[in-house]
Amino acid sequence: MEEYRTEEEQVEALRRWWQENGRSIIAAVIIALAGSFAWQSWQSSQEGRQEEASTVYQAMLQAIGAEGVSIDTQAAVNLAEQLKQNFGGTVYAQFAALHLAKLAVNREQLPEAEVELRWVLGKAEKGSDAEQIAQLRLARVLASSGDTGQALAILKDAAPGPYGASYAVARGDILQSIGRAEEARDAYLQAFSQAGSNQEGLNFSVLQQKLQSLTPLAPREPEDTMSVQLDVPEQAPVITDPVETLEQ
Amino acid sequence: MRLFVYFLWVLFMLQDIRQHTQGTAAKIIIGIIVISFAFFGIQSILVSGGDNEIADVNGELIYPQQLQQALDTQKRRLISMMGDQFDPAMLDDERLAPQALESLISRALLMQAALALKLVISENDIGATVANMEQFQIDGKFSPVRYKNVLSSAGYTPSYFKQSLTEDMLLSQLSSGMAGSEFITPAELALNSQIMLAQRDLRFFTIPLEKFRSRSPLTEAEIDTYYADHQEEFRTQESLDIEYLELTLDNYRQPVSEAEILAAYEQAKQELQFQTQNRVSHILFESGGDSDLQRRISAAQDKLAAGIDFSDVAKDMSDDIGSADRGGDLGYTSGDAFPEEMEVVIAQLQPGVVSAPLKTAAGTHLILVTERKDADVPSFEDMRPALENTIQEDDAREMLLLTVESLKDLSFNAENLRNPAKELDLVVKQAEGVTRSAAEGLFSNPSVVAAAFSEDVLLAGNNSEVIELPGNIFVVLSVRKHNKPEIEALSVVREKVVAALIEENARVGVLSETERALQALQDGLTAEHFTSVNGYQLNVELGVQRRNTVLPPEVLGRTFQLPSPTPDATSIDFISMPNGDAVVIELLSVAAGELKSLPDQEQAQFQQVLATEAGRLINYEYQRGLRERAKISIL
């Protein structure tokens, strides 16, 4: 930096510097302020919209009722439609459509459910949880309306993400309902293994009943009696590794 | 960390700017910095993260205080679940901490997911939810006073309460959307009904073990052979002979002087008087514009001055709708039910006199004490035993703890317990035949047993550490003799051998009878015939479902595992029961289940349960997915 000899020179230098640059500094400050305000107000308006959507969604849940036993279906449907129309870009709208699909299935209006699920698939990000869940439900709805071919194709082509066990149960149910017992059995076994080591979240006994109905045990012959171990009472078979045990 | 980098960057920029103050870009940067300071404050840059976090979930840190809070909640839950039988070992932090940390991580992941999906809860909705919660209501209406009281007695501040409520609502929105929207299609419903509601007709009869017990007297040779073959089963249990010192409060009780008891009585009286009970009514004015508030208060005061009953004025004018209906009555307080400023006024107020307007967070109150119950001071004689006991215990505890400290040193260095006992004037107690599984007494305590059988005590022969047990009991022990398991002579265990042999013969008898029965039925004999000839009771059950609760579960389970009968032959099988009986089962026919077989209400329930279960799996998989995608490090 230059050396200034006197105070006047310093003041003069400062003034000169301000004359040269003052305008652009003020401009910069104003631009930055305006940008910041615009950004903040855009943010808060976005947040405001999310909050509005949240309120409507909360009301919709209330109308559906706690136990899923619908208290006021019509009100719930209206609120869900409102979410889809006015807040289509939010996740709340996708949740609402998933609930509309559920309400439709419960009324056995499968084509309606199909429309809602396809709407979710159109809105949901690729690879998102909502997409993977909607995909699965779409396949099940199609299967229930009789189009098991397309249903199986969807389940086969889709990437199930973390929902491997749910996908496998759905495949097993579809296959069993059309009498492809062997493949159904494989699918259920796959559900067991997909559910992880402690099979958390999976209803073990229902799945086991389905497997049982596909693979009955042969009754024992009279001469088998003596091979029953004397001091170990027979217990219901516990499947630790279902694949291995049932494959025998 | 990110902030620190930002801070360095700013420093470099400032340096740079000093050298190139001419450039327009530099000026814009100065502008931006000035503004960022103005808007977010310097602390936004200077605050640095603490370095004592215990886990990092996608960059969100979890601190020891949070873990402690989660642990405390967990412990309270366990204690209330276990009641009297609670085992301090269950409350061990080291055992509980991993679980508590897991749940904190899950919650953090779910919260992050909710925020990433831009889920929010507006202030209004939180307010509405709070107002709808029953615990904050009096007679079905929200009461701000009650809200404050309930929160403070539960140890929450309103802001902390609101925040955790917000989180709960966010998480429930998330799970309602993903899992709560799960359903069961008509086809799935039919399939599940077909299997889960399937019906089977069967006949069965029991071949009881009892029938085959002690058919013929046993010979000595049989007994000898059985003993020789099963010697391992007739071993004594491993046990220890133990020497131990036990210190309890009772060892150190000393007589208490009368003067001490009297002094304690005087002190107790002082404290009890504090608990005078006041029944309080109030008229609440929530603030509306200042002048309006003032006007309403004056109007109420005028009415009271004119002799109108306080309860009538409260009914007309109080903004606390809950209490207004009851003439402003808020019930009794013993000095801790209301905010402190209110309690101070209540304590000083003469019953029947209305207070001056008092401001609290809820609004402005006029307060009236309608009844004052002075604490009943119990007589010295009544309180004497309790006071004497308390003083004795306090003194004894001090002595006890001092002794325990010396005992720790002495027993650690001593070869056995005799010297420490002599020095501390204690008695060495003996216990013989202590096994790992004692059911009662001192040695049923898991920490005592563990110490006795520990390597250090049992094998190395050292004194144990001083073990603290609930109820101010301290124990130190050493092993005098290790009774290893030994095979007992036949003469000692003859009775047991005979019993076991009879049992085994009976089981063999049951099984060969079962074989005979199966063979007979397969050869075409009817079950009716076989049972009536051989004296068994034949049971017939028609339309049995899996959820049947009448049949023994083993029989039910086997029935549903059997293949369907063919037109030519029924399915015949047997099952061994835990008590040694055998049950022969003949499956007659099977029918696929139908939803329509259920009453209407149960049909809806059945569907509901299936949908909920499918939702539970989705929820589980969703959370597992979050975890797989997350970067979690536990420090």
Output the DSSP codes for A99-162.
HHHHHHHHTT-HHHHHHHHHHHHHHSPTT-HHHHHHHHHHHHHHHHTT-HHHHHHHHHHS--TT
Q: What is the pLDDT of residue B77?
A: 77
User: What is the average pLDDT value for chain A, to the nearest integer?
Assistant: 83
Work out the average pLDDT over A105-126.
Answer: 94
CATH number among 3.10.50.40, 3.40.50.300, 3.30.420.40, 1.20.1050.10, domain B276-373: 3.10.50.40
Q: pLDDT tens, B314-351? A: 888 888 877 888 888 888 887 777 888 888 888 888 88
Q: What is the pLDDT of residue B564?
A: 86
| Confidence band, pLDDT 50/70/90 cuts, at residue A31 | very high
Q: What is the pLDDT of residue B181?
A: 94
Distance, CA of B628 to CA of B620 (rounded, Å): 12
Flag whether pLDDT at B518 surpasses 70: yes
| Confidence band, pLDDT 50/70/90 cuts, at residue B2 | very low
**Residue A227 touches partner B, C-beta closer than 8 Å:** no
A73: DSSP letter = H
Q: What is the pLDDT of residue B8?
A: 47
Task: Name the H helices within B541-599.
Answer: 553-561
Work out the average pLDDT over B264-288.
Answer: 78
Flag whether pLDDT at B3 surpasses 50: no
Which of the given ranges, A78-87, B142-151, B414-423, B445-454, has the highest pLDDT on average?
Answer: A78-87
Task: Kindly determine whether residue A228 and residue B511, on different chains, have CB atoms separated by under 8 Å.
Answer: yes
Task: Kindly determine whether residue B120 and residue A162, on different chains, have CB atoms separated by under 8 Å.
Answer: no
Neighbours of B70 (CB within 10 A): 20
Task: Kindly determine whether residue A32 and residue B32, on different chains, have CB atoms separated by under 8 Å.
Answer: yes
Work out the average pLDDT over B280-303.
Answer: 84
Chain A residue nearest residue B523, CA to CA = A222
Flag whether pLDDT at B295 surpasses 50: yes
Does residue B40 contact residue B616 with C-beta atoms inside 8 Å? no
Distance, CA of A130 to CA of B531 (rounded, Å): 61
**Residue B11 touches partner A, C-beta closer than 8 Å:** no
| Confidence band, pLDDT 50/70/90 cuts, at residue B378 | confident
Q: What is the pLDDT of residue B491?
A: 82
Q: What is the pLDDT of residue B30?
A: 64
| Confidence band, pLDDT 50/70/90 cuts, at residue B213 | confident
Tell me which H or E stretch contains B476: strand B473-483
Work out the average pLDDT over A100-124.
Answer: 94
Range in A59-63, B29-33, B180-184, B252-256 with the lowest mean pLDDT: B29-33
Q: What three-state secondary structure class fits B428? A: coil
Task: Kindly determine whether residue A58 and residue B124, on different chains, have CB atoms separated by under 8 Å.
Answer: no
Flag whether pLDDT at A239 surpasses 50: no
Q: Which member of A144, A196, A226 has the closest CB to residue B187?
A: A144
Q: What is the pLDDT of residue B33?
A: 61
pTM, rounded to two decimals: 0.63
Burial class (CB in 10 A: 0-12, 13-18, 19+), B60: middle
Q: Could you tell me which residues are beta bridge partners of residue B431?
A: B242
Q: What is the pLDDT of residue A180?
A: 92
Work out the average pLDDT over B367-388.
Answer: 82
Task: Kindly determine whether residue B183 and residue A213, on different chains, have CB atoms separated by under 8 Å.
Answer: no
Burial class (CB in 10 A: 0-12, 13-18, 19+), A120: buried
Flag whether pLDDT at B19 surpasses 60: no
Picking from A61, A150, A166, A202 by the largest number of B CB atoms within 10 A of its own CB, the best residue to mutate is A166
Q: What is the pLDDT of residue B272?
A: 63
Flag whether pLDDT at B592 surpasses 80: yes
State the nearest Cα–Cα gap between A83 and chain B, in angstroms.
13
Radius of gyration of chain A (CA): 32
At position B188, the amino acid (one-letter code) is E
Q: Which member of A33, A69, A90 has the closest CB to residue B35?
A: A33
**Residue A14 touches partner B, C-beta closer than 8 Å:** no
Residue B457 CA neighbour count, 13 Å, CB half? 27
Q: Which residues of B touch A225 (CB under 8 A)?
A: 511-512, 514-515, 518, 574, 582
Q: What are the domain boundaries of chain B?
A: 2-48, 55-118, 186-195+597-634, 199-213+492-591, 239-254+382-483, 276-373
Q: What is the pLDDT of residue A79?
A: 93
Flag whether pLDDT at A242 surpasses 60: no
Task: Kindly determine whether residue A162 and residue B621, on different chains, have CB atoms separated by under 8 Å.
Answer: yes
Distance, CA of A15 to CA of A18 (rounded, Å): 5
Nearest CA-CA partner of B243 in B441, B417, B458, B484: B417
Work out the average pLDDT over A141-165.
Answer: 93
Query: What is the predicted ipTM?
Result: 0.80
Q: What is the pLDDT of residue B186?
A: 94
Flag whether pLDDT at A94 surpasses 90: yes
Which of the given ranges, A94-103, B119-128, B379-388, has the highest pLDDT on average?
Answer: A94-103
Q: Which member of A29, A51, A166 has the closest CB to residue B122?
A: A51
What are the φ and ψ backbone dihedral angles of B581, each rounded to 5 degrees?
-65, 160
User: What is the average pLDDT value for chain B, to the nearest integer?
Assistant: 84
